[in-house]
Amino acid sequence: MSYTTPSATTQTPTPHVATAPKGASGQRAAATQAITAAQRQQAYRQRSKRAMTQAIGDEAHASRVTLLALLGRDLALLGDDTAKSMHSAARSSARRVMNTLVTRYAIILEG
């Protein structure tokens, strides 16, 4: 068995691996410094708002926390006399959220 060594060492080019842009799902950008508490709280609020927006009309797949946040928002709108134009939509949304909660948790309503 013979073994030959290459006469000259050549560097093979490494292929460029494309990375997803910052904020793309599935990959996180490399952190250069720690995230502050304010940034973490801001990211949490953005995720919560996005979850609430996505849950409208699809309440059956929303988390309990999101449903309760939606219900709270709807009830606040109903209590706001300056937002009378939104009352019909808020009632409809609150009805869907409550129906989802009653169904999901098998709540028996008396009366």
pLDDT digits (tens, 9 = 90+) for 29-82: 666 889 999 999 999 999 999 999 999 999 999 999 999 999 999 999 999 999
- In this prediction, residue 26 carries a pLDDT of 65
For residue 93 the two structure tokens come to 């949304």
Note the pLDDT tens digit of each residue in 98-110.
999 999 999 999 9
Structural domains in the chain (count):
1
Flag whether 30 is in a domain.
no
Flag whether 55 is in a domain.
yes
Q: Residue 69: which domain range?
A: 37-103
Flag whether 21 is in a domain.
no
pLDDT of residue 16 exceeding 70: no
Flag whether 79 is in a domain.
yes
Flag whether 85 is in a domain.
yes
- In this prediction, residue 74 carries a pLDDT of 95
| Among candidate residues 52, 51, 95, the one with its CA nearest the CA of residue 70 | 52
Give SS3 for 77.
Answer: helix
pLDDT grade, residue 111 (50/70/90)? confident
For residue 30 the two structure tokens come to 């490399």
Q: What is the mean pLDDT of residues 13-38?
A: 68
